[in-house]
């Protein structure tokens, strides 16, 4: 959440029991909102983001970036606030909460290398190798194996983002809007006006009782970060807090970047509406299959009995069915394919990828 120091007033601090880390965040937010130098139209933050963006676009080395900072510090008027090195710049962005975890994944999307699979060197389903191989190198020759992962996804931890949302007194009040500020006049302005929202509340009264319980929408779309490369696309996954009023929940500062996935595939849409319970029933006997090869083979099988038919329709049981309420969610399938303006990412994407 790109919230200004002013909005992050910390007035919720007492009742939420925030710690030293939070105080540090407030201090840092104040610091980056300062002018680059007295009278500058850039804040330190906006200038640093532009500079890191240029670094990434043009492939500047970390050393050349530090050298440029040194020169700029010398040229700028007294009172300038630039950090001394690339390392310090990176630290500022990291401390502001744009930190992410890099997780390796199977190039065929079967699994991620995480927890008990974190040390594996090949996919346990399709056997694809975790690291890229150099041309001509044999699979078993470790000296020829690169340390370049075949596929990586970047995960931005959600809890600190939500905590920071509730740190702002203003935003935290707005998170109760869907109950307290909402006019019920039958006009559809927000997901809270819909049948799906009402049905969900009826089925999960405990969850619905506290208006601060967070309701997230998930949206994704692919874009090509390097315009010359058509074959490469990147899928940012964005979470939208639907507790907020319509004039805020779709605004960039409140959208939460959750993951960035490298890959060419769009999420599939469902052709026919089934209830969650109907789908769960169909999925009961479905064995999850992973990997492009295995999926292609299974589709060629004869549809000779009902079990086979079901297995052919469903490739896997969505992990979301592990959530207690998922079967009651009427708009499970509505992964909103949105059109992400490239500039939404200009400020964060290029900056964080190298940090
Ligand atoms: Zn695999």
To 5 degrees, how large is the angle CA 98–CA 101–CA 102? Answer: 125
Asked if 26 and 70 count as a contact pair (C-beta separation under 8 A), the reply is no
**Ligand 1 center from residue 126 Cα (angstroms):** 4
CA 129 to centroid of ligand 1, rounded, Å:
8
- CA of 107 relative to ligand 1 center, distance in Å: 6
Residues of the chain falling short of pLDDT 70: 1-22, 97-99, 135-145, 221-233, 263-276, 278-279, 282, 285-316, 330-355
Indicate the pTM of the whole model.
Answer: 0.61
pLDDT given at position 333: 54
Residue 342 confidence (pLDDT) = 42
Residue partners of 249: CB distance under 8 A and separation at least 6: 190, 217, 240, 241, 242, 243
**d(CA 33, ligand 1 centre) in Å:** 45
Distance in Å, CA 289 to ligand 1 centroid: 10
What is the distance in A from the centroid of ligand 1 to the CA of 204? 37
pLDDT reported for residue 4: 42
Residue 22: its pLDDT value, please? 67
Strands 216-220, 101-104: pairing is unpaired
User: Which DSSP category does 251 fall into?
Assistant: S
Distance 109 CA to ligand 1 centre (A): 6
Q: How far does the centroid of ligand 1 lie from the alpha carbon of residue 110, in Å?
A: 4
Residue 19 is predicted with a pLDDT of: 62
CA distances from 312 to 67, 302, 309 (A): 58, 9, 5
**For position 97, what pLDDT does the model report?**
62
CA of 288 from ligand 1 middle (Å) equals 12
Ligand 1 centroid–CA 153 distance in Å is 15
Contact 35, 81 (CB under 8 A): yes
- What is the spatial distance between Cα 286 and Cα 295, in angstroms, rounded to a whole number? 13
Q: What's the 130 CA to ligand 1 centre distance in angstroms?
A: 9
pLDDT value, residue 144: 56
| pLDDT confidence of residue 209 | 92
Cα 283 to ligand 1 centre (Å): 21
Do 211 and 244 form a contact (C-beta atoms < 8 A)? no
């Amino acid at each position: 959440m790109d919230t200004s120091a002013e909005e992050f007033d910390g007035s919720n601090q007492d009742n939420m029991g925030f710690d030293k880390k939070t105080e540090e965040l407030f201090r840092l937010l104040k610091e980056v909102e300062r002018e680059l130098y007295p009278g500058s139209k850039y804040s330190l933050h906006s200038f640093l983001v532009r500079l890191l963006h240029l670094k990434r676009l043009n492939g500047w080395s970390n050393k050349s970036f530090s050298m440029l900072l040194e020169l700029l510090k010398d040229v700028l008027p007294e009172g300038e606030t630039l950090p001394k090195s690339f390392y310090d710049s990176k630290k500022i962005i990291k401390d502001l909460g744009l930190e992410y975890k890099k997780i390796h994944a199977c190039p065929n999307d079967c699994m991620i290398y995480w927890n008990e699979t974190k040390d594996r060197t090949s996919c346990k389903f399709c056997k694809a190798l975790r690291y890229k191989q150099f041309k001509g190198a044999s699979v078993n020759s470790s000296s020829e194996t690169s340390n370049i992962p075949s596929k990586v996804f970047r995960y931005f931890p959600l809890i600190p983002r939500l905590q920071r949302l509730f740190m702002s007194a203003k935003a935290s009040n707005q998170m109760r809007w869907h109950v307290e500020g909402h006019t019920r006049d039958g006009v559809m302005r927000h997901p809270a006006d819909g049948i799906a929202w009402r049905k969900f509340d009826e089925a999960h009264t405990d969850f619905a009782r506290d208006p601060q319980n967070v309701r997230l929408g998930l949206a994704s779309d692919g874009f090509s970060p390097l315009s010359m490369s058509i074959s490469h696309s990147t899928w940012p996954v964005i979470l939208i807090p639907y507790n907020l009023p319509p004039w805020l929940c779709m605004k960039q500062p409140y959208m939460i970047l959750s993951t960035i996935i490298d890959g060419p595939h769009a999420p599939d849409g469902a052709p026919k509406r089934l209830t969650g319970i109907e789908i769960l029933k169909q999925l009961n006997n479905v064995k999850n299959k992973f990997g492009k090869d295995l999926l292609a083979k299974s589709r060629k099988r004869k549809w000779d009995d009902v079990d086979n038919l079901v297995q052919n329709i469903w490739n896997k049981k969505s992990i979301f069915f592990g959530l207690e309420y998922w079967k009651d969610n009427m708009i499970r399938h509505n992964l909103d394919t949105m059109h992400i303006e490239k500039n939404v990412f200009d400020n964060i994407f290029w900056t964080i990828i190298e940090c």
